Structure 1
Amino acid sequence: MHHTDAAMQACIDNCLKCYSVCTGIAMNHCLEAGGKHTEPAHFKLMMACAEMCRTSAHFMLIGTPHHKHTCRECAEICRECAEDCEHVGDMDECVRACRACAESCEKMAA
Structure 2
Amino acid sequence: MAKKKHKKNRRKANEAALTAAPAQNGGLLGGLTRLLPARGTAQFLLGAAIGAVAAYVLADENIRGRLLRSGMSLYAELAGGLAEFREQVADIKAEMDAGQSGVA
Please indicate, yes or no, whether the TM-score normalized by the shorter chain is above 0.5.
no
Greater relative contact order, per chain length (Cα 8 Å cut-off, separation 6+): 1
TM-score (norm 1): 0.27
TM-score (norm 2): 0.28
